[in-house]
Structure 1
Amino acid sequence: MDKCEKWGSYELTLNGPSDGNPFIDNNLFATFTHDNFSIKIRGFYDGNGIYKVRYMPELIGTWKVTTESNVEVLSNKTTEFECTSPSEDNHGPVRVSGKTHFAYADGTSYMPFGTTAYAWVFQSNERQKQTLKTLSENKFNKLRMLTFPKNYNYNTIEPDIYPYEGAPKKVSDTFDFNSWSLKPEDIGFDFSKINPTYFQHLENRIKDLDNLGVEADLILFHPYDHWGFARMGEKYDKLYLKYIIARLASYKNIWWSLANEYDLLAMAGQKPLEAWDKLGELVKEEDPSEHLISIHNWYDPPTNKGTRKNWFDYTKPWITHLSVQTDELFFVPQWLEKYQKPVVVDECRYEGNIELGWGDNTAHGMMDCFYRTVLRGGYATHGETYIDKPNTKRSIWWAHGGILYGQSQKRINFFKDLLDNNGFNYVKPMATEGPHWELAVGQSPDDSKIIAYFGANQPEFEQFDFLPKDKKYSAKLIDTWNMTTKDLNIEINNTDMFQLPRSEYQALLLTEKK
């Protein structure tokens, strides 16, 4: 009997017809049964007459599998497999925990410290290997990445392989916004004929990320497209979603990001705003493993009340968490209270030197975004956009992966260790209104430790009146830039003034004295 560990990917492979168009003409489902539990799973065509059904079992014991299909040779096939205990490093998929936080399915804590390498899977094999090596050397445990190739500034080289049969009719080695306005006759791909080789490569990279403990935050649609993949229409959008979910949902490290900058697709005439809710509901309906789902915005007009005009309605039941583009990090606690879902700031500007405002943040600024977001109860995502000259051929991490040239990742690694080593399985934001509005302050789940971050502020004297009454704390001074920790021979409470050395980017780690 075949075996598959809990939260592993079980695969049933069958041989069937390859004539006609198997992606349209043939369907395959399998019912997976364990005791009184039963679930029906969609299969997919993997090319060369091979059909597959995959499932991530979550119940230990014997499972029975029975297929059904409109193709006789694929129907009424039965088999069994044994679901065994998970291996030591297998904690299952990440899911929402306690409304506004995350944890693995086995209860192990998980705090997303993300980074961005949109088109890394479309680069050379050497660069893909370098990307994985870079990830292995850092603390990032979530990677924002694309399913479809991307055409945009500093990322205009054509991929070696495409997701559909055909070839692009219009190719340019420079980014051109006019290419978004493709006419039907300009599209050279047959969206009814999927290229399995393309998706085999994608899933292999996702498995590589899983081996590193990195979640694949997979972006299903995006506007930076001159091939037509952003304007396939409802029929082929649904065909694509059903296919990719059938193919990838059994991998435990998948997150579904319905779109990068969903509102920009509407502005470019690629996909209307009213399309997204139906597509999101389809993803939730098709995914038997209940992976995390969100959708990401482009334009973020600020208001003085923390509301956003161009955000998607994150109260939708198919959305598990917020995935937002904003640098208005002061409002994170308000968004947590309003939506009662985790808040992930997936774009808060990137460390780099390019000519665009979202990509010229300093390393200090990128680090600062992490501290201010995480200590207010949210989660942040890193990106790096350094070029050595205009029209550079050097890889840019944000687009291509490869090598990190910046300095913020070292400080982000230090921050992750600081949290992990002091019992911050998640962060409880502390209210600091009034004289301490500039601080970002977070508390450990058991309330025994507090981190107060000053950022660029340099007070010499402080009074933490927001601390609980009748509690006293010892203190360590954290230099977040130089990554050092120093014991302070002081006791801190909510009434007495205390003195600090004046310096930028400091934090205090407070430990309750029993």
Structure 2
Amino acid sequence: MKTCEQWKVYEFTLNGPTSGNPFTDVTLFATFFFNNHTTRVRGFYDGNGQYKVRFMPEEIGKWTVTTDSNVSELNHQTDEFECTPAEKGNHGPVRVAGQTHFAYADGTPYMPFGTTAYAWCFQSPETQQQTLQTLKENKFNKIRMLIFPKSYSYNTAQPKMYPYEGAPKKVSDTFDSTTWMLKPEDIGFDFSKFIPEYFQHLEKQIQALDNLGVEADLILFHPYDSWGFARMGKKFDQLYLQYVIARFASLKNVWWALSNEYDLMALVGQKPLEAWDFIGKTVQREDPSAHLVSIHNFYDPPQHKDTTKNWYDQTKPWITHLSIQTDNVFLVPKWLDEYDKPIVVDECRYEGNIEFGFGDNTAEGMMDNFYRIVLRGGYATHGETYIDKPNTKRPIWWAHGGKLYGESQKRINYFKQLLEDNGFNYVIPMATEGGHWELAVGESPNGQKAIVYFGENQPEFELLDFLDDDATYTAQLIDTWNMTIKDFPEEINNKDYFHLPRKNYQALLLTRK
């Protein structure tokens, strides 16, 4: 009997017709049976007459499979396999845990420390390999990446391969508001015919990320498009979603981001705001493995969830966590309270030197955002946008991957290790009412440790009056920039002042006595 490790990919391959359009003319599903429970999974055409059904089994034991199709040679085909226990290092997919945090399916805690390299899979083989090597050398465990290619400043080269049959054609700025579709004269690609090799390459790289322990946060749609992929229309959006989910949902390290900057797509005439409910429901319905789902904003998020009509309703059942673009790191606790879902600030500006405000943050600023977001109970994503000169040919991490040239990633690595070494499987934000709005303070789950982050604030005399009345702490002083830690001479409580050296980017690691 075949075997498939728990949370790995079971694949059933069948030979079928090549005539007509196999992507639209042929329907293929398989029903998976386990202990009187059934799961129906969509199959897909992988080219060269091969049809595949993929599934990520989560229950250990014997499974049976039966197909149904409108094509006789694909219909009523059967298979069986034994799902074996997960081996060392295989913790399964990441899921929401404890309402506002994450854990792997086997219960192992997971704290996303992410980065962004949107179009890394569309670069030269050398740059793609360098991207994987850079990830291996750092502690990032999630990467935001595109399924469609991207056209934007510093990223204007045509990809070597396209997702559809056809060729680029100049696209106008208008679309049909009913169908969300391009004018016929603007369509250069056949959106009903996928190029399997394009998606096979993406699968290979998603698997390479999984081998490194990195989650692939796959962005399904985005506005930075010169080919028409953002204006395919409702019919072909649905076909695309069905195809990529059938292909990728069996990969355990996949997350779905419905869009990058969804509200910008409405602003530039690509998709109306009402499109996202249809897209979100389609993803929820099509994914048998219930991967994480988010949607990412362009406009500044509101201070309250009901104060702007353009802010997507993050309470929708298919949204598992918030993916936010903002550098307002003070609102994380408020959003946690309002939405009761994990808060991931996936774009809090990038360390770099380009002309755009989102991409000229300092290394200190990038590091500071991580401490302030994570210690307030959220999660943060890194990005880097350094160029060596205008019109550079050198890969830029945020767009292409490759190498990192900045300094913040070293401090982010240090911070992640600090949390791991001190039992912070996740962070519980501590309330700092009164005079300490400027601090970011987080406790470990067992309440034995706390980190107080001062950032650019430099008090010489400090009183942490928000600590528990009956608690006394020993302390270590952390220089977050120089990545050093040393014993602090004074004990800390909520009644007595203590002396601090005046210096940027300090933190105290407190241990309850």
Aligned partner of 1:174 in structure 2 is none
Matches within 5 A, 1:236-255: 236-255=236-255
Residue aligning to 2:300: 300
Any idea what SS the aligned residue of 1:320 has?
coil
What is the CA distance between 1:180 and its match in structure 2? Answer: 8.0
Distance 1:260 1:280 in 2: 14
CA RMSD of superposed structures (Å) = 1.4
C-alpha contact 1:28 1:43 (8 A) present in aligned 2: yes
* Distance across 1 between alignment mates of 2:274 and 2:489: 59
Distance in 2 separating the partners of 1:410 and 1:102: 24
Verify the 8 A CA contact 1:180 1:224 in the aligned structure 2: no
Asked whether the 8 Å contact 1:180–1:226 carries over to 2, the reply is no
Alignment of 1:165-184 (within 5 A): 165-170=165-170, 183-184=183-184
Per the alignment, residue 152 of structure 2 pairs with 152
2:208 matches 1:231: no
Q: Is the 8 A contact 1:300 1:310 kept in 2?
A: no
Alignment-derived partner of residue 415 in structure 2:
415
For 1:23, the equivalent position in structure 2 comes to 23
Distance in 2 (alpha carbons) for counterparts of 1:54 and 1:377: 36
Cα distance in 2 between the residues matched to 1:507 and 1:443 = 13
Within the alignment, does 1:479 sit opposite 2:479 as a pair? yes
- Whether the 8 Å contact between 2:118 and 2:146 is mirrored in structure 1 is yes
Q: Is the 8 A contact 2:273 2:310 kept in 1?
A: no
> In the superposition, relative to structure 1, how do residues 225 and 73 fare at CA in structure 2: closer, same or farther (>3 Å)?
same
Distance in 1, Cα, partners of 2:170 & 2:125 = 26
Q: Match for residue 102 of structure 1?
A: 102
Structure 2 equivalent of residue 397 of structure 1: 397
Give the gaps of 5 or more residues in structure 1: 172-177
Distance 1:15 1:419, change over 3 A: same
Matches within 5 A, 1:121-200: 121-170=121-170, 183-200=183-200
Residue 222 of structure 2 aligns with which residue?
222
Q: Deviations over 1:313-335 (max 9, x none)?
A: 10001100000101111010010
Matched, 1:353 2:326: no
Question: Partner residue of 1:115?
Answer: 115
Match of 1:6 in 2: 6
Query: Is 1:318 the counterpart of 2:294 in the alignment?
Result: no
Q: Distance in 2 between matches of 1:211 and 1:416?
A: 20
Q: CA deviation at 1:477?
A: 0.3
1:305 Cα deviation after fit: 9.6
Q: Rate the CA distance shift 1:473–1:320 in 2: closer, same or farther, 3 A.
A: same
For residues 509 and 303 of structure 1, the distance between their equivalents in structure 2, rounded to whole angstroms, comes to 30
Give the Cα–Cα distance (whole angstroms) in 2 for the partners of residues 192 and 71 of structure 1.
19
**Structure 1 partner of 2:272:** 272
Between the two proteins, the alignment pairs up a number of residues equal to 507
Deviation at residue 308 of structure 1 after TM alignment: 5.6
Question: Aligned letter for 1:240?
Answer: Y
User: Structure 2 counterpart of 1:348, which letter?
Assistant: C
Give the C-alpha shift of residue 350 in structure 1: 0.3
- 1:58 shift after superposition: 0.5
Distance 1:14 1:339, change over 3 A: same
What is the alpha-carbon distance in structure 1 between the residues aligned to residue 337 and residue 86 of structure 2? 35
Cα deviation, residue 186, structure 1: 2.5
Give the secondary structure class of the aligned counterpart of 1:445. coil
Q: How does 1:16-95 map to 2 (within 5 A)?
A: 16-95=16-95
**SS across alignment from 1:492:** coil
Task: Show the counterpart of 2:340.
Answer: 340
**CA deviation digits over 1:199-258, x for unaligned, max 9?**
000111000000000000000000000100000000000000000000000000000000
CA contact (8 A) 2:352 2:384 kept: yes
SS of the residue corresponding to residue 281 of structure 2 reads helix
Could you report, residue by residue, the CA deviation over 1:74-108 in whole angstroms, capped at 9, with x for unpaired residues? 01111110100001000000000000000000000
2:319 maps to a residue whose letter is: I
Which stretches of structure 1, 4 residues or more, deviate above 3 A after TM superposition? Answer: 178-184, 301-310
Question: Secondary structure, in 3 states, of the residue corresponding to 1:153?
Answer: coil
Q: CA deviation at 1:127?
A: 0.4
The 5-angstrom pairing of residues 374-385 of structure 1 reads 374-385=374-385
Match of 1:468 in 2: 468
Indicate conservation of the 8 Å contact 2:303/2:331, yes or no: no
> Using the alignment, how far apart are the partners of 1:411 and 1:307 within structure 2?
36
SS at match of 1:489: coil
Q: Percent of pairs identical after alignment?
A: 72
Counterpart-to-counterpart distance in 1, 2:121 and 2:11: 23
Partner of 2:363: 363
Cα shift readout 1:415-448 (whole Å, capped 9, x = no counterpart): 0000000000000000112210000000000000
More deviation, 304-313/242-251: 304-313
Which deviations, in whole Å up to 9, do the C-alpha atoms of 1:6-35 show, x marking residues without a partner?
Answer: 001100000000110011000101111111
- Mapped to 2, the partners of 1:281 and 1:301 lie a distance apart of 23
Equivalent position amino acid for 1:382 in 2: H
Return the alpha-carbon distance in structure 2 between the equivalents of residues 230 and 23 of structure 1: 20
| TM-score under structure 2 length normalisation | 0.97
Give per-residue Cα distances to partners, 1:116-155, cap 9 Å, x unaligned: 0000000000000000000000000000000000000000
Instruction: Say if 1:92 and 1:252, in contact at 8 Å, map to a contact too.
Output: yes
Deviation at 1:309, TM superposition (A): 5.3
Shift in Å at residue 311 of structure 1? Answer: 2.4
Q: Secondary structure at the match of 2:503?
A: coil
- Compared with structure 1, are the counterparts of its residues 306 and 271 closer, same or farther at alpha carbon in structure 2 (3 Å cutoff)? closer
User: Helix, strand or coil: the match of 2:406?
Assistant: coil
Change beyond 3 A, Cα 1:305–1:294: closer
State the distance in 1 between where 2:307 and 2:269 align: 26
Q: Secondary structure at the match of 1:170?
A: coil
User: 2:179 is matched with which residue?
Assistant: none
Q: Structure 1: how far apart are the matches of 2:412 and 2:63? A: 43
How far apart are 1:489 and its partner, in Å? 1.7
| Residue type at the aligned position of 1:353 | N
Residue identity opposite 1:280 in structure 2? G
Q: Assess if the C-alpha contact under 8 Å between 1:255 and 1:293 holds in 2.
A: yes
CA distance in 2, matches of 1:162, 1:240: 14
Structure 2: distance between partners of 1:314 and 1:88? 35
Map of 2:441 onto structure 1: 441
- Give the Cα–Cα distance (whole angstroms) in 2 for the partners of residues 375 and 128 of structure 1: 33
Specify the SS of the correspondent of 1:135.
Answer: helix
- Residue type of the alignment partner of 2:383: G
Q: Secondary structure at the match of 1:457?
A: coil
Q: Residues 446 and 4 of structure 1: is their aligned pair in 2 closer, same or farther, counting only changes over 3 Å?
A: same
Q: 1:301 to 1:91 in 2, by over 3 A?
A: closer
Stretches of structure 2 lacking an aligned partner (at least 5 in a row): 176-181
Q: Which amino acid aligns with 1:133?
A: Q
What one-letter code is carried by the residue in structure 2 that aligns with 1:8? K
